Amino acid sequence: MRLVHVVAGVIRDARGRILLARRTEGRDLAGLWEFPGGKIEPGETAEHALARELREELGIEANVGGLLIDVQMPYPDKQLRLDVYEIRSYAGTPSGMEGQALAWAPPHKLADYPMPPADAPAVALLMREPA
């Protein structure tokens, strides 16, 4: 079974809301919401991959912080490893560079957004944070 290693970032605005991106048509799990990020390319560290993905997907320059959670999730055709990082700060205004919809969600409302199964542990962690 193939291993797919992906990274995602928890990006917060000044009000503490968390940025979600909607998966576009033609992709696995299209229409679901997710933390922005993507696949790690050969030779990249997780932090460099996340900064690159956020630049490509959102048009921002991100300062990647610490690892929040590392999720291992079996799917029928692959083993997914998802590393979710805190984004300390960023320059620029996030926009859907690939045509994806974006939403700013308060942490306590994250469960209202349909998300891939691998995101569930990160959502649970973030929803437990004090307001």
> For residues 111 and 101, what is the distance between their CA atoms, to the nearest angstrom?
18
- The answer to whether the annotation marks 41 as part of a ligand binding site is no
Q: 27: burial class by Cβ within 10 Å (0-12, 13-18, 19+)?
A: exposed
Does residue 2 have a known ligand-binding role? no
Segment (H or E) for 6: strand 2-10
User: Does the annotation place 35 within a ligand binding site?
Assistant: yes
**Would the annotation count 57 as a binding residue?**
yes
d(C-alpha 101, C-alpha 126), whole Å: 21
Residue 61 annotated in ligand binding? no
10 forms beta bridges with 86
Radius of gyration of the chain (CA): 14
Binding residues for Mg(2+): 37, 57
Binding residues for 8-oxo-dGTP: 23, 34-37
Binding residues: 23, 34-37, 57
